[in-house]
Amino acid sequence: MLTSEQIERFREDGYLAVDRLLDYDLDIKPVIDEYQSLLDNLCEQWVAEGRLDEPYSDLPFEKRLVEVYRAGCDYYQAFDIALPNGNIRADTPIHCGPAVFDLLRSPRLLSAVESLIGGEIYSNPIQHVRIKPPARVIETEDVDNALVGATRWHQDNGVALPEADETQMLTCWVAVSEATPENGCLQVAPKSHREGIALHCTISNQLGIPDVLIEQEQARPVPLKPGGVLFFHPMCKHGSLENQSDAFRWSFDLRYNPIGQATGRPHFPGFVAQSRLDPDSALDDYREWERLWHEARAQLADVAEIKSNRWDDKDPLCA
């Protein structure tokens, strides 16, 4: 559980960084191993489809990803733990593996979450994995892809539907690799959770707060060691820096809210991660989690428009 001082700091600043909260061997390494196996399978598939010349199985994980990316293979959606907000097909890839499911339900993580939102914990489906390559290898069309390039300043309430405005949503940004200012760690604006909802615009296909509304001198980078977690309030303004290093930066965005509160993405499935009142209601089988996402994908396939936020880009600042 978090200390009373940590809880007070979170409430005061709108965010809290806790280094090495998660156990590397129990929480982080199984996820890394799972993604290495996933990449093995994807490379075999892409070679069979003629999209990749060879599987590059002799290369380390990160160098292999560079070759895959340069060949035009979309590893980032195949790795992601949520569907995109539009253009969903019946075969849009999504990863719902047991190690990621265990990370979502980690007792160490949920104990800290309970300190901030109580013991009835729902896994919110606004979630992502971001394995971001060095900026020098990113193709021009992907610079503003939030799964690949830098993430624009935004608020989590700003990228959800207004139904979640009263939800006690908590974001847990989990560092798998070390996160530094050089490789694109998150930056936050302390105490910005008290300022209300800011205008968000679609800028180069990414929803974010216009730069003129951000006081850059307030930005505070938040470096973390592997297993570290950055908790932040849904109204806290945050974004990521560009990855100027020679290595990938790997993180998970996980979100939770009290059971029964709106998630902000009603078309995507969440699940009960923990319940003190009804322990048996907590989901404990990753295959059911996977089934829920596949069911949602089938229902949303080829739907022309999926409303996922409140903005229409009509404000002059969005021009």
Read off the pLDDT of residues 136-185 as tens digits, 9 standing for 90 and up.
999 888 888 999 999 999 999 999 999 999 999 999 999 999 999 999 99
Q: 81 and 254 in contact (C-beta within 8 Å)?
A: no
Residue 72 lies in a domain: no
- As a whole number of angstroms, the distance between CA 233 and CA 239 comes to 13
Assigned domain for 312 exists? no
Q: What percent of the chain has pLDDT over 90?
A: 92
* Least confident span in 121-125, 238-242, 305-309: 305-309
> Is position 35 within any domain?
no
Q: Which domain holds residue 223?
A: 4-23+105-303
For residues 70 and 224, what is the distance between their CA atoms, to the nearest angstrom? Answer: 29
Q: What was the pLDDT predicted at 140? A: 85
Task: Please check whether residue 37 lies inside any domain of the structure.
Answer: no
CA nearest neighbour of 234 among 164, 185, 297: 164
Say how many C-beta atoms besides its own lie within 10 A of residue 244's C-beta: 13
* Number of structural domains in the chain: 1
Amino acid sitting at position 223:
P
Give the per-residue pLDDT at 44.
Answer: 97
**Exposure pattern of 175-190 as b/e (b: 16+ CB <10 Å)?**
bbbbbbebbbbbbbbe
Confidence of residue 122 (pLDDT cuts 50, 70, 90): very high
Helix (H, G, I), strand (E, B), or coil: what is residue 187? strand
Distance CA 20, CA 107 (A): 14
Distance CA 173, CA 255 (A): 8
Residue 192 lies in a domain: yes
Note the Cα 9 to chain centre separation in Å: 23
Q: Answer whether 300's CB lies under 8 Å from 183's CB.
A: no
CATH code, 158: 2.60.120.620
112-122: burial string, b at 16+ Cβ within 10 Å, e else: bbbbbbeebbb
Question: What residue has token string 């799972």?
Answer: 34
In a domain, 282, yes or no: yes
pLDDT tens sequence across 227-270: 999 999 999 999 999 999 999 999 999 999 999 999 999 999 99
Report angle CA 273, 275, 281 to the nearest 5 degrees. 75
Query: Does residue 38 sit within a domain?
Result: no
Report the C-alpha gap between 77 and 100 in whole angstroms: 15
